[in-house]
């Protein structure tokens, strides 16, 4: 049975390139003594952090993703599921849910590791080279030298994709790959991805002797990502777009937001009512989030953490939601939706202001999941 020089087992039809071992990183661990009350509150926060409520877009996107899974191996070409949405709208959280499908659990067979799906968060700045380095690390947990040439990096990436029978590549925040890039750089990157989805027999990066196996993509990013992908018609025809769109202030949208918050509140575990689904609070949530339920969930969870730590019986509009909003945006009480007296007088926030929220959220929105509720 063939083995690489670092001892890992690979597919018999793959030529393995030697890779230097990464230098071990020393980890420091710190611990503090917590009281029983602190431990109880920490466990409560963890339960809150796992709350998930299905929305229309989640249900439809998961259904479309399941269709993609059923088609794997049947088509000569892959598919590309694109999730465009504004900052903090819940893209990362949705990708985390897609990764929970049982068919995507990694395993080992007689030839080595099998990894149906590879997930990465696009590096920033993102080039074809840094994207390749990130993909290689996600598949091997080993770092390639940044001094390698772009072609050499992607040769190794493609070898690993074939060796581990990768079927889906999932890239979060893919818009980073196009920011500050020239048109030629964008074209080369899209061409590289297209050759994964639509295999080319003459592709120089294809491992020697490897069969033409298409790889499907799942990409999330800012709304303008759709415009960039449209530059390549061949890739575009394999794309399905499932945008996360905001709720407005129509009666139908207010009802959806009300149902969403009504499903969230009882799962928070507070002994007293929080009033999240009351009409005035719903209007404040819509204004604070610009209509995105992902942002509403983030505000509620952060406020719940603060209330739990303070030993409060429920989430307070001013002391918890108002504090969290101000801590994030630093706009002052006159522009805080949870502090103003009349919410109808507050102007709509600019979307660029929510980029700060995304930086603070990081990957927290992609946490563990619990039993689902539906808000349709």
Q: What is the reported pLDDT for 207? A: 74
What is the mean predicted confidence (pLDDT) over 301-313? 97
Per DSSP, the three-state class of 212 is: coil
Q: How far apart are CA 91 and CA 97, in angstroms?
A: 10
Q: What is the reported pLDDT for 72? A: 87
Q: Is the pTM of this model over 0.75?
A: yes
Q: What is the reported pLDDT for 200? A: 81
- 108-137: burial string, b at 16+ Cβ within 10 Å, e else: eeebbbbbbbbbbbbeeebbbbbbbbbbbe
Q: What is the reported pLDDT for 361? A: 55
Taking only the tens place, the pLDDT of each residue in 149-180 is 999 999 999 999 999 999 999 999 999 888 77
Q: What is the reported pLDDT for 289? A: 95
Cis bond upstream, residue 125 (ω within 30): yes
Taking only the tens place, the pLDDT of each residue in 52-101 is 999 999 999 999 999 999 988 777 889 999 999 998 899 999 999 999 99
Q: What are residue 206's phi and psi, to 5 degrees?
A: -70, 130
Q: How far apart are CA 361 and CA 303, in angstroms?
A: 14
Q: What is the reported pLDDT for 189? A: 87
Paired with 168 in beta bridges are 117, 216
Q: Cβ atoms within 10 A of the Cβ of 201, count?
A: 6
Q: Mind giving me the DSSP string for 55-94? A: EHHHHHHHHHHHHHHHHTTTSSS--EEEEE--TTSSHHHH
Q: What is the reported pLDDT for 366? A: 35
> What is the set of domains in the chain, with CATH numbers?
52-241 (3.40.50.300), 247-365 (no CATH)
Whether residue 123 is predicted with pLDDT greater than 70 in this model: the reply is yes
Span of 102-116, 172-186, 263-277 with lowest mean pLDDT: 172-186
């Amino acid at each position: 049975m063939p083995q690489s020089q670092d001892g890992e087992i690979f597919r018999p039809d793959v030529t393995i390139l030697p890779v230097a071992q990464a230098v071990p990183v020393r980890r420091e661990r710190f611990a503090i003594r917590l009281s029983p009350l602190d431990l109880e509150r920490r466990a409560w926060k963890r339960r809150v952090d796992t709350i998930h409520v299905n929305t229309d877009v989640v249900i439809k996107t998961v259904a479309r993703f399941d269709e993609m899974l059923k088609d794997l191996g049947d088509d000569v070409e892959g598919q590309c599921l694109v999730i465009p949405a504004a900052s903090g709208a819940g893209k990362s959280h949705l990708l985390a849910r897609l990764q929970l499908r049982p068919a995507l659990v990694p395993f080992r067979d007689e030839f080595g590791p099998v990894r149906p799906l590879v997930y990465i968060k696009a590096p920033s700045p993102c080039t074809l080279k840094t994207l390749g380095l990130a993909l290689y690390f996600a598949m091997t947990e080993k770092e390639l030298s940044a001094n390698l040439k772009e072609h050499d990096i992607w040769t190794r990436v493609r070898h690993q994709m074939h060796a581990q029978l990768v079927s889906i590549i999932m890239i979060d925040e893919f818009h980073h790959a196009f920011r500050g890039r020239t048109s030629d750089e964008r074209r080369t990157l899209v061409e590289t991805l297209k050759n994964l989805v639509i295999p080319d027999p003459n592709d120089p990066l294809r491992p020697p002797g490897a069969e033409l196996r298409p790889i499907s993509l799942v990409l999330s990013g800012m709304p303008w990502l759709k415009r960039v992908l449209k530059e390549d018609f061949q890739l575009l025809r394999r794309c399905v777009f499932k945008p996360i769109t905001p709720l407005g202030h129509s009666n139908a949208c207010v009802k959806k937001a009300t149902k969403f918050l009504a499903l969230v509140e009882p799962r928070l575990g507070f002994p007293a009512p929080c009033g999240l689904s009351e009409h005035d609070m719903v209007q404040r949530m819509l204004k604070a989030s610009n209509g995105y339920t992902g942002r509403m969930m983030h505000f509620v969870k952060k406020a719940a953490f603060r209330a739990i730590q303070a030993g409060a019986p429920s989430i307070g509009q001013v002391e918890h939601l108002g504090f969290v909003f101000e801590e994030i945006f630093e706009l002052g009480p006159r522009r805080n939706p949870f502090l103003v007296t009349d919410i109808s007088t507050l102007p709509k926030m600019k979307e660029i202001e929510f980029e700060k929220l995304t930086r603070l959220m990081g990957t927290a929105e992609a946490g563990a999941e619990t039993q689902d509720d539906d808000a349709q």
